[in-house]
Amino acid sequence: MEQGPAVFVDKHTIQVDGKNISAAKIFIATGSKPEILPIPGLKECSPLTNENIFALSAIPKSMAVIGGGATACELTQAFSRLGCKITMFLRSQHLLSKCDYEAAILLEEQLRKEGVTLLNGTSLKNVRAQDNGYILTTDSGWQVEVSKILAVTGRSMDFSGLKLENAGVKHGPFGITTDKYLRTSVPSIYAVGDCNGQHQYSHSAMHQGMIALLNSMRPHPFKKDFRKYAVPYTIFTEPQISAVGMSAHELNDQQTPYETYIAHYDDYGAAIAEETKIGFVKVFASAHGKIYGVVIAGEGSGEMVNEWTLAIQNNLRMQDILMTQHSFPTMGILSKRTAEAWMMNRMKSHTRQKLARFIFKFFA
């Protein structure tokens, strides 16, 4: 196996360490890299990223975290619990700006309880080094001194070294262009994972790799459309936050009518007994039971969201969740409770009430 940077020679050949390797099918899975925002002085300070922070030999006394996304929250809570004083700089008004608002606020409250300082809606004017660390200055003139800086502000892609143009592979600012079968503009070349700009999750990359491999071997009628598979995600904080499907924001933007059903952890005996009372299961569904999206905040959400992923992917409805027996007293019962709430809401209809009375009177 040759090691080294890969460069396209043509659509069936790449060059590695001066040697040409040819293949009928080629798969691109180059991932992405941390993006450093163009804040004056930040790049010169060589901030830590999620790629090199684990090479630290000791826990810093203090650290500025620039960013408020999933990875920023995970690393913030982890290092805070290890004794590092953390200040988070967020351009948005709250953490996890693309996440469910209620879930994000739960996490904000928890981080503040643990001593993390959150500067919401804050833009940095500049960053500069000093003898024992760094000084970060906001647009409002506020200054924060820290030992280390962690920049977690998204991902970027650089395909210049691959020389995709030699193979005729098209790409744009958001990644390599692919069709629904994960083929690039050159049908014999596939692009999976972060590099195609679809979903920046490890499990998505693995799933796309599997689909692309199958598609490369199957005739057209049997190829799989990767877009038809629901994509869940989990943020590994406490409380843990998971979601799948459409958010309330997306549904509102599309003007899709929906109902919201919530089951709270603190209303469930098992959660109270396990001292995991913080959290909820929230489901967005239609009046007829179509499941649009689910958000779960709390202990075990990463395991619970998989049931909903399967349901959305296979067009199951709330009545299917209702009629599925859930082992008691697991946290999954909370998912069933949302379906029970959906059904009880259906029974508020006077027509259904009259129908139920008729059935009980004449057929019971």
Which CATH number does 43-155 carry?
Answer: 3.50.50.60
The whole-chain average pLDDT of the chain stands at 94
User: Residues near 118 by Cβ (< 8 Å), separated by ≥ 6?
Assistant: 88, 90, 95, 108, 111, 112
Write out the residue limits of the CATH 3.30.390.30 domain(s) in the chain.
Answer: 233-346
> 319 is written with which tokens?
């009545």
Q: How confident is the model at residue 7 (pLDDT cuts 50, 70, 90)?
A: very high
Summarised one tens digit per residue, pLDDT across range 82-111 is 999 999 999 999 999 989 999 999 999 999
Summarised one tens digit per residue, pLDDT across range 192-249 is 999 999 999 999 999 999 999 999 999 988 999 999 999 999 999 999 999 999 999 9
**Closest by alpha carbon to 301, among 103, 64, 54?**
103
pLDDT at 359: 66
pLDDT at 333: 97
pLDDT at 348: 74
Q: How confident is the model at residue 3 (pLDDT cuts 50, 70, 90)?
A: confident
Residue 331 near residue 306 (C-beta atoms within 8 A): no
pLDDT at 134 exceeding the cut of 70: yes
Second-level CATH architecture of 6-32+157-228:
3-Layer(bba) Sandwich (3.50)
pLDDT at 354: 65
Residue 277 near residue 266 (C-beta atoms within 8 A): yes
Summarised one tens digit per residue, pLDDT across range 306-359 is 999 999 999 999 999 999 999 999 999 999 999 999 999 987 766 666 666 666
Second-level CATH architecture of 233-346:
2-Layer Sandwich (3.30)
Residue 250 φ/ψ region, left for φ over 0, alpha for ψ in the -120 to 50 degree band, beta for the rest: alpha
Write out the residue limits of the CATH 3.50.50.60 domain(s) in the chain.
Answer: 6-32+157-228, 43-155
pLDDT at 346: 85
Phi and psi at residue 220, to the nearest 5°:
-50, -45
pLDDT at 24 exceeding the cut of 90: yes
Summarised one tens digit per residue, pLDDT across range 137-153 is 999 999 999 999 999 99
The pTM assigned to this predicted structure is 0.91
Dist. CA 86–CA 75, nearest whole Å: 10
- Across residues 110-133, what is the average pLDDT? 95
pLDDT at 355: 63
pLDDT at 195: 96
